[in-house]
Amino acid sequence: MWWNPFTFEEGQWYLWRFAGAEIAVCRTEETWQGFCKSLRWEKRDASCTGPLQEKPAVQTALQTNVLNAKTASLRPFLPEKPFLINLGGLKLYPGMKITLELEIPPALYLMAEKDGNTPEFIFNFVPFTLKETWHGKNSMEGFFCSSLPVNTGVPCNPAIHCSLTIRNRTKNAAELNAIPFYAGGLSVYEKDRKLISEAPVIDALENNFRMAVETADTEYGTMLTQGNKNDPNLIRRGTSALSDLGGGLQQGTRIIKNITGL
């Protein structure tokens, strides 16, 4: 699989092709070089190959790092920037739930593997890009998000599959519009050559909300990157008004306020 560690031969370029995007890395003694040819997520295809011993035809935005290591691996991470999911006013009636099957473009880190110790960071690659959009009350209050489509589109092996469940525990119908979703703290697993993340679950209650992360290591498969399910962007409990909340917490509660109208 593309995520397995291997030893980089001296002065040899290695090339990965991910659904139309490309990543290339070369090690010469302790000097590492790498670059990424990015692609719009909606233009991806289904092909994936690598790492191949092949010199890239074009080198753009070349990164350089110095590290005493010979063995490394690419690892998939969920981006820190929040996503914005547009559900167009979908109604969720009392007692009902909806599960969104999302395909998320990963960020890829090249990590040096050193005798069972904690891997060391070498490079950060962003092979896929999404349209950037603003979410907030107005042009002054809000934050930038990446617009994430709900439809899966082209099957793509590098995509991280995430099941996001929203449950309406209130006595009123809930309207789901544009939902900001923070995914950066979720762990990523590989099972049957497919990337899977932990599954967030949101309960919208009468006067508050609860957001948690379901984990089942044996079900998900082999962990590739460990997230932080205690990340304050992932787990929320409370009823405080937005004006009473700090920056990160304020952003995290908007996903619930859009659902319940609190």
Complete DSSP assignment for 229-240: TT-TTT-EEE--
pLDDT of residue 244: 25
pLDDT of residue 262: 36
- Comparing C-alpha atoms, which of 29, 191, 142, 164 is closest to residue 85? 164
pLDDT of residue 255: 44
Helix (H, G, I), strand (E, B) or coil at 167: strand
pLDDT of residue 109: 94
What residues contact 259, with CB distance under 8 A and at least 6 apart?
92, 166, 168, 174, 175, 176, 179, 202, 204
Task: Identify the segments of the chain with pLDDT beneath 70.
Answer: 1, 116, 151-155, 207-209, 211, 214-218, 228-262
pLDDT of residue 253: 39
Please answer whether residues 160 and 78 qualify as being in contact, where contact means their C-beta atoms are separated by less than 8 angstroms.
yes
Q: Report the greatest alpha carbon distance in the chain.
A: 65
pLDDT of residue 131: 92
How many CB atoms sit inside 10 A of residue 205's CB? 16
Q: What is the H or E stretch that residue 218 is in?
A: helix 217-220
How many CB atoms sit inside 10 A of residue 54's CB? 15
Quick one: tokens of 28?
């010469």
